[in-house]
């Protein structure tokens, strides 16, 4: 009988613990539990799971420049209590000139419930909660869900939920926690310097380190955080926020430091910065065998760098260039002498570029710049120029035009001079695209090198370059391997064109890097430059073919040259890429609070009215306000037309505003309406504004009909 009861309980527990998901419009929410029941006097991990519609997102505890964190309001039985969310590591969500923090696709937010000791064994408890979300894409929509979860109260520990138990446990294990990090900060030269040291940072890859503050007004979230690597940690240079502008700046700075995808909670105190967190001061005394990067000697660091350089050949960012170079070896067939010269030229290009970048890096750091390895790809103009260069290489491989007999060495009848120059250039290009990658063993070696004398640092970088160049040079000097390559022939033209596609992929990657750096505003500019550059390459190919036929296509070649220069200069260097700022003609508009009564009164007076339905958590609202509305041209248009600017703030729920949004067929903000001086239906402006659109609408509203 007991066996039957146990079997019945085992079958019923999962069903009793099930909760019905609720679709709120742009996400599906549900409560899930780590166990299939609760035990009196114990704790239980329950989580709010959000399955978010593609292209939309919700927010972390600090939403960043705009947005609002998810909230959960419990209705629990007497004696029960619930903790706050355990927040997973957030992601940066750049939108125009703003940067927000939140989650896409799916997020699980655990909460720990405490069960009272008098919970009745054998009963079923129903846990209720109201979840409020702000879900955003190009518009933001507040959504909510009433959720329930029923669980049996058992005398002993209930079995773990087979689906949600492991998933909740993993979220809790991966969530940011204190890890013995020590932080200090000070404001110097207009920058907030945050220095962090501790065991988790020693020898770690700090190239993508980022600090997410708990408070929304202590930093300018849209500005980049530059990294200065030290032997025991790092120093971040951050643009301070509003809190540092007042008479009493913060004494503490709490948040999450994310390093290599893992988050660590820390609280930094105002005070002097430790030298061990930066790469500009002398290295500290040795602290034992655990000091990974700081305790490497020159030979060990060089050995680590050499191995890291070998592994760097396997990084995806390097593959397109090495695949291109592999085609040149195939083109040599059995010509061992040519292959060796090509290998040496490739190695020379690698070493020269590695040492050149290292020397520039050392000089910049000595001058006080907080830069690290891969610094050249932190500069948007360089990324844009490299993307255009990769496009030219891809178009060349596709046969749109030729450079000599082939810049990359892919093809038949290679001239020794052109081939060697091509190999040297290919080595330099491989280093340029490999620089942002960090292979195993590289982190400790480079971290050590950047705290040493220039000679020691250059020695380590030389070892890194030797490791990177070694595989290709070794193959070029291995006759047995070269003899196995197929002989040159017609197949090479198809192989060459096939290798263009990894280069096109490299272009796409670099464009993505550019958009991450400065936002979507970079896309039309770099793609427009790419189209002009492709046209220039096509015209150059026509000129080459006409010249080969005995013609003198001077005009076509000149047009190609002008277009190419225009594409590169306009697409990469003029004007320089930068994070979008507020409009240069920024102005503060005098806004009145919207009410239906105030709108009706203004219309009765015959005055034009601009109504802005907005919210503090609405991303696109804040972007439009900064770049289109708060401008001198809009302020002048309001003044000359005797118009009034009403702001319908939906940051907190307002039934009147919600009704107006619904009347115009909108589920969320932003919404912009311009009412004419003579009354009638308003003009609805687009969701993405320009100051010109707003000025035109206000001027039209002020004209007599």
Question: What are phi and psi for residue 537, nearest 5 degrees?
Answer: -65, -40
CB 270 within 8 A of CB 187: no
The band of 319, judged by pLDDT with boundaries at 50, 70 and 90, is low
What share of the chain in percent tops pLDDT 90?
A: 35
CATH topology of domain 591-702: Glutaredoxin (3.40.30)
Residue 321 pLDDT more than 70?
no
Q: What is the largest CA-CA distance in the chain?
A: 101
Q: Tell me, what's the pLDDT at 688?
A: 79
CB 309 within 8 A of CB 470: yes
pLDDT in tens, 580-596: 444 445 678 889 999 98
We find that the CATH architecture of domain 2-175 is Sandwich (2.60)
Residue 282 pLDDT more than 70?
no
Weakest-pLDDT range from 64-73, 129-138, 474-483: 474-483
Residue 2 pLDDT more than 80?
no
Q: What beta strand segments (E) does 77-116 contain?
A: 81-82, 91-95, 98-104, 106-114
Q: Tell me, what's the pLDDT at 266?
A: 94
CB 386 within 8 A of CB 533: no
Q: State CA 191 to chain mean position distance.
A: 22
Residue 406 pLDDT more than 50?
no
pLDDT in tens, 117-135: 999 999 999 999 999 999 9
Q: Tell me, what's the pLDDT at 159?
A: 92
The band of 291, judged by pLDDT with boundaries at 50, 70 and 90, is very low
Residue 316 pLDDT more than 60?
no
Q: Tell me, what's the pLDDT at 473?
A: 83
Q: Tell me, what's the pLDDT at 329?
A: 56
12 compared with 255, residue with greater pLDDT = 255
The band of 56, judged by pLDDT with boundaries at 50, 70 and 90, is very high
Contacts of 457 by beta carbon, 8 Å cutoff, 6+ apart? 358, 362, 449, 450
The band of 294, judged by pLDDT with boundaries at 50, 70 and 90, is very low
Weakest-pLDDT range from 25-29, 251-255, 491-495, 654-658: 491-495
333 compared with 551, residue with greater pLDDT = 551
Weakest-pLDDT range from 268-277, 319-328, 378-387: 319-328
Mean pLDDT of the chain: 80
pLDDT in tens, 221-263: 988 898 888 878 899 999 998 888 777 889 999 999 999 889 9
CATH topology of domain 178-277: Immunoglobulin-like (2.60.40)
The highest-confidence range among 79-83, 203-207, 489-493, 660-664, by mean pLDDT, is 79-83
The highest-confidence range among 88-92, 97-101, 546-550, by mean pLDDT, is 88-92
CA distance 557 to 549: 15
Structure token pair of residue 4: 């039957």
431-438 mean pLDDT: 63
Q: Tell me, what's the pLDDT at 412?
A: 32
The band of 19, judged by pLDDT with boundaries at 50, 70 and 90, is low
300 compared with 118, residue with greater pLDDT = 118
pLDDT in tens, 455-466: 888 898 899 889
Q: Tell me, what's the pLDDT at 404?
A: 42
Contacts of 234 by beta carbon, 8 Å cutoff, 6+ apart? 195, 196, 201, 206, 209, 227, 228, 277, 278
Q: Tell me, what's the pLDDT at 11?
A: 43
Give the burial string for 164-190 (b: 16+ CB within 10 Å, else e).
bbebbeebbeebbeeeebbbbbeeeee
315 compared with 63, residue with greater pLDDT = 63
Q: Tell me, what's the pLDDT at 648?
A: 92
Q: Tell me, what's the pLDDT at 285?
A: 34
Each domain of the chain, given as residue ranges in start order, spans 2-175, 178-277, 298-378+405-499, 591-702
pLDDT in tens, 595-634: 988 998 998 899 999 999 988 777 678 878 888 898 888 9
Residue 189 pLDDT more than 90?
no
- Running DSSP on this structure, what letter comes out for residue 413? S
What share of the chain in percent tops pLDDT 70?
A: 78
Domains 2-175 and 178-277 share a fold: yes
- Measured CA to CA in angstroms, residue 436 lies from 207, 513, 588 at distances of 8, 11, 41
The band of 689, judged by pLDDT with boundaries at 50, 70 and 90, is confident
Residue 468 pLDDT more than 60?
yes
Residue 545 pLDDT more than 60?
yes
If you search the block for the tokens 């009145």, which residue do you land on? 592
Whole-model pTM over 0.85:
no
Residue 410 pLDDT more than 60?
no
495 compared with 412, residue with greater pLDDT = 495
Peptide bond into 670 cis (omega under 30): yes
Please give the angle made by the CA atoms of 77, 80 and 85, to the nearest 5 degrees: 115
pLDDT in tens, 132-187: 999 988 788 889 999 999 999 999 889 999 999 999 999 999 999 999 899 999 98
pLDDT in tens, 641-660: 999 999 998 877 777 888 88
Residue 327 pLDDT more than 70?
no
The band of 490, judged by pLDDT with boundaries at 50, 70 and 90, is low
Residue 376 pLDDT more than 60?
no
Residue 433 pLDDT more than 80?
no
- Beta-bridged to residue 683, according to DSSP, are 674
């Amino acid at each position: 009988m007991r066996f039957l009861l146990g079997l019945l309980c085992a079958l019923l527990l999962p069903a009793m613990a099930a909760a019905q998901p609720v679709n709120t419009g742009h996400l599906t929410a549900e409560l899930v539990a780590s166990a299939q029941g609760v035990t009196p006097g114990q704790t239980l991990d329950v989580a709010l799971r959000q399955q978010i519609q593609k292209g939309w997102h919700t927010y972390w505890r600090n939403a960043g420049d705009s947005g609002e964190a998810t909230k959960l309001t419990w209705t629990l039985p007497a004696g029960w209590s619930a903790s706050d969310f355990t927040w997973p590591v957030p992601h940066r969500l750049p939108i125009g000139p703003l940067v927000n923090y939140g989650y896409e696709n799916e997020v699980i937010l655990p909460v720990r419930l405490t069960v009272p000791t008098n919970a009745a064994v054998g009963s079923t408890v129903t846990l209720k909660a109201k979840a409020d979300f702000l879900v955003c894409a190009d518009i933001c929509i507040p959504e909510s869900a009433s959720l329930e979860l029923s669980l049996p109260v058992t005398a002993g520990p209930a079995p773990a939920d087979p689906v949600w138990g492991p998933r909740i446990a993993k979220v809790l294990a991966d969530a940011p926690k204190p890890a013995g990090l020590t932080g200090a900060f000070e404001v110097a030269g207009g920058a907030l310097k945050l220095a962090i040291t501790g065991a988790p940072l020693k020898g770690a890859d700090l190239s993508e380190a980022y600090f997410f503050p708990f408070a929304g007004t202590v930093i300018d979230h849209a500005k980049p955080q530059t990294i200065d690597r030290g032997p025991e940690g790092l120093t971040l240079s951050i643009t301070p926020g509003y809190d540092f502008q007042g008479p009493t700046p913060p004494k503490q700075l709490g948040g999450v430091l994310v390093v290599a995808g893992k988050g660590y909670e820390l609280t930094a105190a105002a005070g002097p910065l430790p030298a061990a967190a930066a790469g500009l001061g002398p290295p500290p005394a040795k602290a034992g065998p655990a000091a990974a990067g700081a305790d490497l000697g020159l030979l060990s660091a060089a050995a680590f760098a050499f191995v890291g350089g070998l592994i760097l050949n396997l990084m995806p960012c390097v593959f397109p260039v090495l695949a291109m170079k592999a085609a040149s070896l195939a083109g040599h067939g059995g010509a061992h002498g040519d292959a060796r010269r090509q290998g040496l030229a490739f190695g020379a290009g690698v070493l020269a570029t590695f040492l050149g970048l290292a020397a520039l890096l050392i000089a910049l750091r000595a001058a006080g710049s907080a830069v690290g390895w891969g610094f050249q790809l932190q500069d948007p103009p360089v990324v844009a120029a490299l993307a255009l260069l990769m496009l030219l290489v891809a178009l060349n491989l596709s046969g749109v035009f030729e450079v000599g007999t082939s810049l990359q060495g892919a093809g038949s009848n290679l001239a020794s001079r052109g081939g060697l120059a091509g190999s040297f250039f290919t080595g330099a290009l491989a280093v340029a695209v490999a620089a942002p990658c960090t292979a195993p063993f590289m982190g400790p070696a480079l971290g050590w090198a950047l705290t040493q004398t220039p000679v020691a640092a250059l020695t380590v970088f030389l070892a890194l370059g030797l490791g990177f160049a070694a595989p290709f040079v070794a193959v070029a000097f291995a006759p047995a391997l070269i003899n196995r390559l197929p002989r040159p022939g017609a197949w090479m033209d198809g192989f060459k064109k096939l290798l263009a596609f990894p280069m096109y992929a490299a272009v796409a990657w670099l464009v993505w890097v550019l958009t991450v750096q400065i936002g979507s505003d970079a896309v039309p500019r770099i793609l427009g430059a790419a189209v002009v550059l492709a046209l220039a390459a096509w015209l150059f190919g026509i000129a080459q073919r006409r010249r080969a036929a005995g013609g003198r296509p001077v005009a076509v070649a000149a047009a190609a040259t002008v277009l190419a220069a225009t594409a590169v200069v306009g697409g990469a260097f003029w004007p320089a890429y930068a994070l979008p700022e507020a409009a240069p003609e920024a102005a503060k508009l005098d806004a009145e609070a919207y009410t239906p009564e105030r709108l009706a009164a203004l219309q009765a007076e015959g005055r034009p009215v601009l109504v802005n339905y907005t919210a503090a958590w609405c991303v696109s609202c804040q972007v439009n306000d900064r770049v289109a509305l708060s401008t001198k041209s809009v302020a002048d248009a309001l003044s000359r037309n005797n118009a009034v600017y009403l702001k319908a703030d939906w940051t907190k729920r307002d039934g009147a505003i919600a009704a107006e949004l619904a009347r115009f067929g909108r589920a969320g903000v932003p919404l912009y309406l311009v009412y004419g001086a003579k009354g009638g239906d308003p003009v609805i402006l687009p969701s993405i504004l320009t100051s010109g659109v707003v000025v035109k609408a206000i001027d039209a509203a002020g004209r007599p009909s």
